[in-house]
């Protein structure tokens, strides 16, 4: 992982799951990580463990639905380390269920975190990347947007909105300054199911995660692969799923 040594990487949703695994793997490879999430105690514990292993990590309480929080995360990276190489937008919630349940509040929450949160990241980091002359947006999307299934329509809609957003940003960034990467995981064994309010759906998702969900480290390795490429190489899209997922 020599391609990530010394890189400064800010990660949202870093308190568990894919974000945590990515932070640990990057730090082990010599990157300097800035961890953002709402659960500060968990963030601080992860950062301490990274530092105890000889890595470099700092934390910033970040609710990606709040633009000021994401700006503070990016600002902390540049203040502490003078620049920012990569923003990994990974924060997510899962308010899934049948559309007929009319969970308007849940729909709004997913839009705020999963779409607006990515936009806040772009608004915060793009000026930094342009000023530096280079930067990399890595965004967690989902196979839910590739295969639409019942109970996940709005979830998939937010993911496909992000997929469209990242492709648009890519096409506007062919001057070689900004790279974009969209990572689409299938079922991963994370804590994402804890945000599902529909108990029957939550139990079904948890069973699937337990049965064949990928470990978060598998997705982290894909993210690191994209980051460690030379700057003139862009890994635009990666789909990673369990081999048994339909």
Helix count (H) and strand count (E) of the chain? 8, 7
155 catalytic per annotation: yes
Note every long-range contact of 108-111, with CB atoms under 8 Å and residues 24 or more positions apart, other chains counting. Answer: 109/65, 110/154, 110/155, 110/158, 111/158
Say which residues have a Cβ less than 8 Å from residue 240's Cβ, sequence separation at least 6.
183, 184, 185, 186, 214, 218, 219, 222
Angle CA(122)–CA(128)–CA(133) in degrees, nearest 5? 115
H or E, element range at 10: strand 8-12
H or E, element range at 9: strand 8-12
Q: Distance between alpha carbon 13 and the CA centroid of its chain, in Å?
A: 6
Q: Which residue in 155, 158, 162, 216 is the catalytic one?
A: 155
Give catalytic residues, as residue numbers: 155
């Amino acid at each position: 992982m020599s391609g990530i040594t010394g890189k400064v990487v800010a990660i949202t949703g870093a308190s568990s799951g894919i974000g945590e695994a990515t932070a640990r793997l990057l730090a082990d490879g010599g990157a300097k990580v800035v961890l953002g999430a709402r659960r500060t105690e968990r963030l601080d514990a992860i950062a301490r463990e990274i530092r105890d292993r000889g890595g470099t990590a700092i934390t910033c309480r970040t609710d990606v639905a709040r633009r000021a929080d994401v700006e503070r995360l990016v600002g902390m990276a540049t203040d502490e380390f003078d620049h920012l190489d990569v923003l990994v937008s990974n924060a997510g919630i899962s308010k899934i269920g049948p559309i007929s349940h009319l969970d308007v509040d849940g729909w709004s929450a997913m839009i705020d975190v999963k779409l607006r949160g990515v936009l806040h990241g772009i608004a915060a980091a793009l000026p930094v990347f342009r000023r530096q002359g280079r930067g990399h947006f890595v965004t967690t999307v989902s196979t839910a947007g590739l295969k639409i299934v019942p109970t996940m329509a709005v979830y998939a809609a937010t993911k496909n909105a992000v997929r469209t957003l990242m492709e648009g940003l890519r096409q506007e960034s062919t001057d070689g300054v900004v790279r974009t990467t969209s990572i689409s995981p299938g079922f991963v064994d994370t804590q994402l199911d804890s945000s599902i309010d529909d108990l029957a759906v939550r139990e079904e998702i948890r069973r699937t995660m337990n049965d064949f969900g990928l470990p978060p480290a598998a997705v982290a390795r894909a993210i690191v692969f994209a980051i460690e490429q030379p700057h003139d190489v862009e890994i635009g899209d990666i789909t990673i799923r369990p081999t048994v997922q339909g």
